[in-house]
Chains A and B, each alone.
Chain A
């Protein structure tokens, strides 16, 4: 990790983007129809852009595009009647509505997750947690897990490429595919265990397993604006859930 240019996201208190992402995810789940979900998606993208991580919204489109296509296919084409005419195709009206809602939900969640990982700073999070006297183990687990996900995903993709270039064929009957599981997963799992071994060693020798409260080195400033944003987000998510449950 190298120093990033200062954006709103990187200057905010570390808990703020986390709370925002969580609340967006919860609200997405509560958003019933295409209108609510669409508004949420738009708000998420806007927040990402304002915070200086607008690129995340674009990068989210990469995994989203095939998902959206599949959604429209599944619900639009194979949904129930009544059907309406869209550019010459007879698509299910209810299906399109469903697809739009789900697409917007997924869009909001994907954008929020990518925006979070673009602005996440493990050191600042640990400092923020240390300032609040959380146990180091708890904050380390959060940080290490969030850091491990993209790393493992990248390794998995690399392993798949490597095995394919070694001649692994991923087509064929179910038995053949079952046998392909091992060369595809083993390198990732073995690598993970070796890393676990090494990291455990390292943490022991660096006094990370103790019980003393960790010192915050450069405690991030928790501005009033941060707190307002967090409370608004939580309030919004709670209202959305309540509305969904009630309605």
Chain B
């Protein structure tokens, strides 16, 4: 009977020490930056509830657009801290999911994947962002549709072409939708224009491209 009790106690102790690991407050964070933000920062907080120190072996982000930093290399028993993940938004759009893999010297669960989910607000949805004509094509107008997000009410948009070779005409369709007709003067020469689309009362600028391409088609 005595041996059974000793064995049971031993197994409990070993089991507890084997399961000793960093306790993460959360391993997934969702961020909602504003349209003006250049970065989104997530703080992954942890605690070491075990009786031995935990050491970080590596912290590795899934892409070059994300950096991750630990405050310290060693977490003492009872110690707390956080890993800061910084996602550079750049010209990215929509929902971006980036991960940070944390490797420690814990007995189990040595790798933890932290997920940073960033919802980048999209003021305008432009479709398509590129219109083209082949040399010699009929210079008929082509349409770019602009849809305004309901979170960013925009009544008017201004469109300017970087080249006089293309004319633009904006038509308001209602329900936050605009139609931009783009028309080249002629299609004899290879020319291009950057179309700047600016919502009224907004600093943010959007772009589309119009181009006359080489007539040669390689297949």
Is B truly associated with A? no
